[in-house]
């Protein structure tokens, strides 16, 4: 097969975008050979391989650049777009999408999910940190909780700055959850929307008394 070579230029706005882009580029596993050099904000990317390899590599490179831009810079509505896989990989956590969405809603952020993407008003670094915190809380309670109850415990713990075990105790105290001997797990007695609503009302009442 004849080898070919093509050079494309990617323009980045600042060092943050350049670093993110180059880091994502290093993760690419492609048959084409890629070499990057550039001054300041113009990166020249030298791609070598068969014509087919080069076409595929350039498509993937542009895709990465679009993804990096979407997560670093907000659109006209002030929203960022993150692929959920990127977010989980970056934070080293495996938090379910419903937990992420509910936590963002409670924190007063705009959030929607579309085709594996999270579209939200929370900036990337904060989002990674939040996901990491949720991941830590999850590992504290995952063995003794069902999936449903976690969707109440974790968002409430983050919102109110509580230890997730404290939230479990409160749910039991309020008659919203119970320990199931046969399953060795805590589970909700009410549906999760109701349980969360009652729990938050109770916590807000306590805060108002202080």
Q: What is the pLDDT of residues 107-156, one digit of tens each?
A: 999 999 999 899 999 999 999 999 999 999 999 999 999 999 999 999 99
CA gap 24, 64 in Å, rounded: 7
3-state SS assignment for residue 66? helix
Per-residue DSSP letter, 145: B
Helices (H), 115-163: 124-141, 147-160
Name the pTM for this structure. 0.86
CA gap 125, 112 in Å, rounded: 18
Percent of the chain with pLDDT over 70: 98
Could you count the other beta carbons within 10 Å of the beta carbon of residue 66?
A: 11
CA gap 113, 81 in Å, rounded: 9
Tokens 């700055």 map to which residue?
A: 161
């Amino acid at each position: 097969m004849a080898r070919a070579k093509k050079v494309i230029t990617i323009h980045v706005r600042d060092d943050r975008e350049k670093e993110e882009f180059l880091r994502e580029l290093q993760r690419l596993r492609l048959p084409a050979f890629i070499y990057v050099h550039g001054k300041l904000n113009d990166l020249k990317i030298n791609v070598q391989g068969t014509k087919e390899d080069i076409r595929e590599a350039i498509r993937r490179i542009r895709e990465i650049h679009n993804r990096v831009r979407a997560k670093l810079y907000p659109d006209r509505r002030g929203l960022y777009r993150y692929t959920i896989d990127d977010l989980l990989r970056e934070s080293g956590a495996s938090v379910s999408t419903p937990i992420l969405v509910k936590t963002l809603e409670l924190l007063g952020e705009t959030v929607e999910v579309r085709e594996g993407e999270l579209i939200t008003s929370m900036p990337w670094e904060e989002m990674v940190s939040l996901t990491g915190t949720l991941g830590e809380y999850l590992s504290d309670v995952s063995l003794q909780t069902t999936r449903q109850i976690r969707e109440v415990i974790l968002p409430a713990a983050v919102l109110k700055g509580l230890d997730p075990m404290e939230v479990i105790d409160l749910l039991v105290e309020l008659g919203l959850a119970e320990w199931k001997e046969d399953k060795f797990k805590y589970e909700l007695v009410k549906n999760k929307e109701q349980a969360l609503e009652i729990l938050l009302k109770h916590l807000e009442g306590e805060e108002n008394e202080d």
